[in-house]
Structure 1
Amino acid sequence: MTAELKRELHLSGQVRIHVAESHSTAINHVLRMLTRDLNRVLGSEPQWVDDPRQAQIRIALAGENDSCPQSPEAFGFRFVAGTVLHIVGHDELGIVYGVLEFSRRFLGIQPFWYWMDQSIKLQNEVMIPCVDYVSPPRKVRYRGWFVNDEVCLIGWKPVYPPTREVWKPVFEALLRSGGNMVIPGTDLPRHGVHYELASEMGLWVTHHHAEPLGAEMFARAYPGREMSYLREPERYEQLWRQAIQEQQHRKVVWVLSFRGQGDKPFWEDDPSFDTPLKRGKLIGQVMQKQYDMIREYVEDPVCCVALYGEIAELYQKGFISLPEHTIRVWADNGYGKMVSRRRDELNLRIPSLPRVKDSGRHGLYVHVTFHDLQASNHLTMFAGSADFLKSELEGAFAVGASDYLILNSGNIRPHAYPLDIVSTLWNDGTIDTEQHLQSFVRSYYASEHEALARLYREYAETTLPYGPHLDDLAGEQYYHHPARQIIGHWLQGKEAESDRRLDWAVSAGTFEQQVKGFEKRLAPALDRWKSWLAQCDETLAKLDDDDRQRAKDHLRFHGELHLSGSEGFYQLCRSYAAYRQKQYPQAFVLASESLWHYRRGLDTLRAAEHGKWADFYRADWLTNIASTAQNVDTLRKVLRMHGDSPDFFLWYKLYLMPETEKHIYLENTHREPLTDDDLATRLKERLFTDTNQEAEGNVDR
């Protein structure tokens, strides 16, 4: 190694920094991040100096001699005048990425430091090897998050819509992950700060496919008016023009679209469009009109169209023509597979990728979190493996879908690991999943790296397969939405007919067969999740306090939601079987077991709400574990009426009262009726013995 390569820049105390450029809002934000990072690592905020000759670090747009690639967002590190570091960027985002890469590479601040509660230790000195660096090109040009189904972010703080305090860590993590684009939330009030702040921080903003151009919903702007573009073209176009005018000076990836109000096909509100030809023709005409309107205000606009749902079908069949240069965005099925989405029990799995003959620009809309009222993961980590994500995205890139990638990121905190996987793919175009896992674990945990990596790896292997495809893996919603549907169908007295809403998950048959189908699928998952959690607890016991809490929040949390959910659903199914046999006390006990397991899920949410995370899961309104528990509690109260009503003392007398008391006690002095929990606990001990289908597991109420 030459003497030149051995040089090091030593940073300690107050680091002297010179910023050559006039400060845009994006650069101001990233300098705020750098100030915080240096303060946390070196214990002092930097000193901003006007004279570049006094600086240890200089931050500037790249000059002719800086060897910085002449491409958008490129940056580099150059060491000049001995050991002075120049962080140079080709443009504003180049400077932002350069500063954040300095923080990651030399200060150790990871992309998800905030969301993973990274332990950042104070250091006396940071030594930086004086080796120049040039950023490589990123695989995907427009890449970012759709912060969708963001109820935890909405409910975390008392102010609605979410404030800057909530959004800043979201956008910072996205920038640190190399993202440059965001859909900041779903149908949030227009006076919210989400779009404004995203633009301030240097991000491109884009739109939900149900909100073309980011315009206000027609039904909200014109309540009571007929929702028909043919009859109300001026009103629709007025909304689009207003949205364009409001955003014309921002960096925008414009979404061209035409769907009905509430994210559904428009012909549900206008049934005169009764053929694919009519529907596709109007959608194509509307998109061309939107494109032409944008060009009145924006030179060379970047536009895309989401090939999602009915629009994908019409486009693939040749019924929709798109404006020139529009990016075609292909959507996965919500479970990471690039095929069409399941609609109730209809699951055609039509490939959702450009064909070899397709020209033009193409991109992707993919999910690592989803909400579909069926089997999706919203609170828990993506159920598939890192290798599955690698295969799907690398395969999509190989057929040209690499101009754009919008990733459904949900509430960020529960999804840090898969978000990090996808950011590696959108940056590099490929990933060594094992190397990435080892790096991820070592970035956020101080010890037990192999054991922790094994838990992350085996998490996907433990998830419940509910169907024949590799992506048919249950997120936590599988244990809740179908369970509530079963309870509702049961208590509404509809048992004589099957529940068609469940056909996607279990073969069509009688309602009793449907419930039994869930029971059979759930049974194998119980031991698998118990085994995974036992390994998790064994590893947690060896970690220091910070790492133990982190592993609880980002590993055990997910496993416990899966186990408590699968146990709760399993015991619910067993309760129905006992009910069908008119074994009402047993059905009551099993329903109580189900409730106690679901309550453990609620306890898991509460345990994760420590420190700055207080109330983070308060707005669990989508999976809604609390609603499931309430439904099961209602069920067991109804079951108790089958034989214990009206005095709610009969089961005590029949099964629990000593034989010597049964024949001599006086009605006017009998005991206070037991609560549901107490009665269920005592009946369980009496009714479920080793020879009588013992209720499974010790239940912590």
Structure 2
Amino acid sequence: MAGRIRIAVQGKVTSAIGHGLRMLIRDLHTVLGEMPEMGSHPTGWAQIVIRYVLPEDGCPDEPEAFGFRFKESASGPCMEIIGRDELALVYGMLYFTERYLGVQPFWFWADQCLPQQKRIEIACESYDSLPSKVRFRGWFVNDEVCLIGWKEPYPPTREVWLHVFEALLRCRGNMVIPGTDLPKTGVHFEVAEEMGLWITHHHAEPLGAEMFLRAYPGKNASYKEAPELFERLWTKAIEKQKDKKILWVLSFRGQGDKPFWENDPSFDTPEKRGAMISRVIRKQYDMIGAAVKEPVYCAALYGEIAELYKEGYVELPDDVIKVWADNGYGRMVSRRHGNLNLRIPSLPAEEDTGKHGIYYHVTFHDLQASNHLTMFPGSAAFIRQEVEGAFAAGADQYLLLNCGNIRPHVYMLDLLRVLWNEGKVDAEAHLEQFVSSYYTSGLKELAGLYRSYTEAAVAYGPNPDDLAGDEYYHHPARRIIGHWLQGQGAVADERLLWATGECSFLEQVRSFEQRCSEGLAQWTAWLDRCDKVIAGLAEEDKQRAADHLRFHGALHRSGCEGFLWLCRAYAAYAEGRYPQAFVCASLSMRGYEEGLHVLRAAEHGKWNRFYSADWLTNIESTVRNVDTVRRFLRMHGDSPEFFLWYKEFLMPETEKHIYLENTHRNPLSDDELAERLHAHFEQNGQLL
């Protein structure tokens, strides 16, 4: 095929098929340089025909099955993209652009270069898709602050969601939770429905209903006290969605995504808690069943509900897909709650019949050690083991993947694409395929960087999933600062016991210092290797490698450096060495500021402002916190003149006893004083 391709569609063009055509036409135009011609001309005119399956096609009798067929027409060979339903036709069109035009699933998010071609060669051989391993597979667009801050309007516009959902469809995903608690005025649900995706719900918002306290401000959010108010919200949600493609999530958690008994202490036993959850879920189930034809139900076995279910206190209807969750760090065990980390297996037992699925994270936000801005720190082999293990346990009907802000996580999202479609993956073969799909040079070296990324990660605990993401350097650091400046240093900070175990506050600080010292060396070595690889790449690959590899290592390194010097600042403070503590705090601030420079450097071209709403890891907040520490420390011995440390350490001895105050009392700024004191202490071996 070459030049102006002629395309015809047989049958009704639904909104989902219309979006598929939009993407097909755009990709043909991009690669061939000619805008395709659409028409409903007589048979034989089109070179590409898009239609539903006919009995004689022999296409697999599966939902979403698609294929390619070929025939000769009056105007030459004709390729037919066939599908059993609208999503199948969308998948067929997108697979056409991947297979024959080279458009990869994450072309937009990974800045793939698409070279123009004069013609494309297509062998006239029939093709049929294979059924996906997982029936319902998709993304939870969660903690999506980068998508929120990227463009000026709030909530995110259609432009943003089109790219999100296109990538999901290119992965052959078919369901989505489109965002987290976004305003009703947003178009996220509308665009997802237009593009043919099933909609599912957050486990804290069962049935997609409005949160109780939003609807009834000032009321006590107790189902025991006011069941009719909850049921009114559920009825409204069912009525609004009953004619749409919905995977109905049944659940009962408290307001703000926490156990409901935290606000109702009368539920003080597992029996009482399980009985209430079972009662509520059965009520939701019956309400949906009375209003919706052939509904698909899910129950999120998340957190405390999973524990109660495994202990036999929660009963679920037989046809509900039970959704098990990893711990946020990729391991299929219960998640850590504060300092409590029971690590109870989170998979169905052999005797647990019915349908099962999983909720899985390649990115997480937990105010402890999760990865939010950076790639998942574990290996592809680790994810393969966990997900394939879940499939082997029967949890293969549903896979909801926390995709975060997409751009930082394309490698692992692509790995999960293979897993949910094929049911297994060769991690090494996938890595080679992934690198060759998005880069044109240095493929072996780039694969080595992706592979060794996990080896550089900070191991903060004994388990293989205890690997630090970017939040490890910021949330614990800000906790330490708060504990310190509140004058609580005589006792340990209980909020940090998950990372340090039982010990004094100074020992807690020393523990983080040790981990970050090791991490600084590891990430520095990895970045050195990264810089050498990038220097040898073709020009078109250098920026991509900087954004999708170096970016992550640089954030880790800056976090390690900032946290390391913060810990040293506290140690010096505890010894009464206030000027040295001030210098260490300044070095900490400089380390953390480097993280801000890394974010800004990645905001070029279409990515302008992408990290502007970093409100979760919140590097800028850490910088401000450390600056507060620095100002606090200068009060210890340099106040009130803010000239005393200059006089003690920096003023020439010949001047100290004869200077006139009116010519020597312009205090140095914090930055200048820190820089000059640093040089003085380094020269005299007095810093550490």
How far, CA to CA, are the matches of 1:558 and 1:658 in structure 2?
45
Per-residue CA deviation, residues 390-409 of structure 1 (Å, 9 max, x unaligned), is 00000110010000000000
Matched, 1:84 2:78: yes
Letter in 1 for 2:27: D
Point out where structure 1 has 5 or more consecutive residues left out of the alignment.
Answer: 1-10, 695-701
Residue of structure 2 aligned with 1:35, choices 19, 25, 49: 25
Residue 255 of structure 1 aligns to a residue whose secondary structure is strand
Residue 197 of structure 1 aligns to a residue whose secondary structure is helix
Q: Any conservation in 2 of the 1:378–1:477 contact (CA below 8 Å)?
A: yes
Per-residue CA deviation, residues 537-586 of structure 1 (Å, 9 max, x unaligned), is 11111223331111111001000000000010001111111111111111
Residue of structure 1 aligned with 2:66, choices 68, 75, 78: 75
How far, CA to CA, are the matches of 1:277 and 1:662 in structure 2?
76
Offset of residue 197 of structure 1: 1.0
Residue of structure 2 aligned with 1:498, choices 462, 474, 492: 492
State the identity %.
62
Q: Any conservation in 2 of the 1:18–1:48 contact (CA below 8 Å)?
A: yes
Matched, 1:412 2:403: no
Offset of residue 525 of structure 1: 1.1
How far, CA to CA, are the matches of 2:399 and 2:167 in structure 1?
16
Residue of structure 2 aligned with 1:58, choices 49, 64, 74: 49
Offset of residue 522 of structure 1: 1.5
Matched, 1:25 2:15: yes
How far, CA to CA, are the matches of 1:140 and 1:31 in structure 2?
26
Matched, 1:160 2:154: yes
- In structure 1, the residue matched to 2:524 is 530
Letter in 2 for 1:71: E
Residue 376 of structure 1 aligns to a residue whose secondary structure is coil
- In structure 1, the residue matched to 2:503 is 509
Residue 138 of structure 2 aligns to a residue whose secondary structure is strand
Residue 320 of structure 1 aligns to a residue whose secondary structure is coil
Offset of residue 456 of structure 1: 0.5
Q: Which moved more, 1:366-375 or 1:156-165?
A: 156-165
Per-residue CA deviation, residues 117-138 of structure 1 (Å, 9 max, x unaligned), is 1111111111112221110111
Q: How does 1:311-390 map to 2 (within 5 A)?
A: 311-390=305-384
Matched, 1:203 2:203: no
Q: Any conservation in 2 of the 1:227–1:270 contact (CA below 8 Å)?
A: no
Offset of residue 16 of structure 1: 0.6
Structural RMSD (CA):
1.0
Letter in 2 for 1:397: F
Letter in 1 for 2:464: L
Residue of structure 2 aligned with 1:105, choices 96, 99, 105: 99
Matched, 1:558 2:552: yes
Letter in 1 for 2:20: V
Point out where structure 2 has 5 or more consecutive residues left out of the alignment.
Answer: none
How far, CA to CA, are the matches of 1:471 and 1:676 in structure 2?
40
- In structure 1, the residue matched to 2:111 is 117
Residue of structure 2 aligned with 1:675, choices 665, 669, 679: 669
Offset of residue 88 of structure 1: 0.3
- In structure 1, the residue matched to 2:274 is 280
- In structure 2, the residue matched to 1:241 is 235
Letter in 2 for 1:669: T
Q: Any conservation in 2 of the 1:210–1:258 contact (CA below 8 Å)?
A: yes
Residue 126 of structure 1 aligns to a residue whose secondary structure is coil
How far, CA to CA, are the matches of 2:39 and 2:57 in structure 1?
21
How far, CA to CA, are the matches of 1:273 and 1:528 in structure 2?
48
How far, CA to CA, are the matches of 2:263 and 2:657 in structure 1?
69
Letter in 1 for 2:355: R
How far, CA to CA, are the matches of 1:539 and 1:224 in structure 2?
59
Offset of residue 689 of structure 1: 3.2
Residue of structure 1 aligned with 2:457, choices 454, 463, 480: 463
Letter in 1 for 2:572: A
How far, CA to CA, are the matches of 1:498 and 1:563 in structure 2?
27
Q: Any conservation in 1 of the 2:334–2:344 contact (CA below 8 Å)?
A: yes
Letter in 1 for 2:56: N
Letter in 1 for 2:131: P
Residue 68 of structure 2 aligns to a residue whose secondary structure is strand
Per-residue CA deviation, residues 405-440 of structure 1 (Å, 9 max, x unaligned), is 000000001000000011110000000111111111
- In structure 1, the residue matched to 2:36 is 46
Residue 467 of structure 1 aligns to a residue whose secondary structure is coil
Letter in 1 for 2:641: D
Matched, 1:654 2:648: yes
Q: How does 1:262-273 map to 2 (within 5 A)?
A: 262-273=256-267
Q: Which moved more, 1:519-528 or 1:392-401?
A: 519-528
Residue 127 of structure 1 aligns to a residue whose secondary structure is coil
Q: Any conservation in 1 of the 2:678–2:687 contact (CA below 8 Å)?
A: no
Residue of structure 2 aligned with 1:96, choices 87, 90, 98: 90
How far, CA to CA, are the matches of 1:242 and 1:249 in structure 2?
13
- In structure 2, the residue matched to 1:181 is 175
Offset of residue 591 of structure 1: 0.4
- In structure 1, the residue matched to 2:210 is 216
How far, CA to CA, are the matches of 2:606 and 2:460 in structure 1?
36
Per-residue CA deviation, residues 100-148 of structure 1 (Å, 9 max, x unaligned), is 0001000000110110111111111111122211101110000000001
Per-residue CA deviation, residues 320-357 of structure 1 (Å, 9 max, x unaligned), is 11123000000000000000001111111000000111
Q: Any conservation in 2 of the 1:362–1:401 contact (CA below 8 Å)?
A: yes
How far, CA to CA, are the matches of 2:237 and 2:539 in structure 1?
50
Residue 359 of structure 2 aligns to a residue whose secondary structure is strand
Letter in 2 for 1:42: L
- In structure 1, the residue matched to 2:245 is 251
* Residues 690 and 420 of structure 1, relative CA distance in 2, 3 Å threshold: farther
Letter in 2 for 1:265: P
How far, CA to CA, are the matches of 2:17 and 2:473 in structure 1?
46
Offset of residue 693 of structure 1: 5.2
Offset of residue 672 of structure 1: 2.1
* Residues 231 and 691 of structure 1, relative CA distance in 2, 3 Å threshold: closer
How far, CA to CA, are the matches of 1:214 and 1:323 in structure 2?
20
Offset of residue 281 of structure 1: 1.1
- In structure 2, the residue matched to 1:581 is 575
How far, CA to CA, are the matches of 2:404 and 2:530 in structure 1?
25
Residue 139 of structure 2 aligns to a residue whose secondary structure is strand
Q: Any conservation in 1 of the 2:580–2:687 contact (CA below 8 Å)?
A: no
Offset of residue 527 of structure 1: 1.3
- In structure 2, the residue matched to 1:3 is none
Offset of residue 291 of structure 1: 1.0
Per-residue CA deviation, residues 6-62 of structure 1 (Å, 9 max, x unaligned), is xxxxx1111011111211000001100111101110011111121231111111001
How far, CA to CA, are the matches of 1:507 and 1:215 in structure 2?
40
- In structure 2, the residue matched to 1:193 is 187
Matched, 1:545 2:539: yes
Offset of residue 83 of structure 1: 2.9
How far, CA to CA, are the matches of 1:65 and 1:681 in structure 2?
79
- In structure 1, the residue matched to 2:394 is 400
Offset of residue 692 of structure 1: 4.0
Per-residue CA deviation, residues 587-640 of structure 1 (Å, 9 max, x unaligned), is 100100000000000010111111111111111000000000000000011111
Letter in 1 for 2:230: Y
Residue of structure 2 aligned with 1:427, choices 421, 426, 438: 421
Letter in 2 for 1:261: Q
How far, CA to CA, are the matches of 2:461 and 2:224 in structure 1?
43
Residue 299 of structure 2 aligns to a residue whose secondary structure is strand
Q: Which moved more, 1:426-435 or 1:183-192?
A: 183-192
How far, CA to CA, are the matches of 1:405 and 1:314 in structure 2?
22
Residue 44 of structure 2 aligns to a residue whose secondary structure is helix
The TM-score normalised by the length of structure 2 is: 0.98
Letter in 2 for 1:551: A
Offset of residue 509 of structure 1: 1.4
- In structure 2, the residue matched to 1:623 is 617
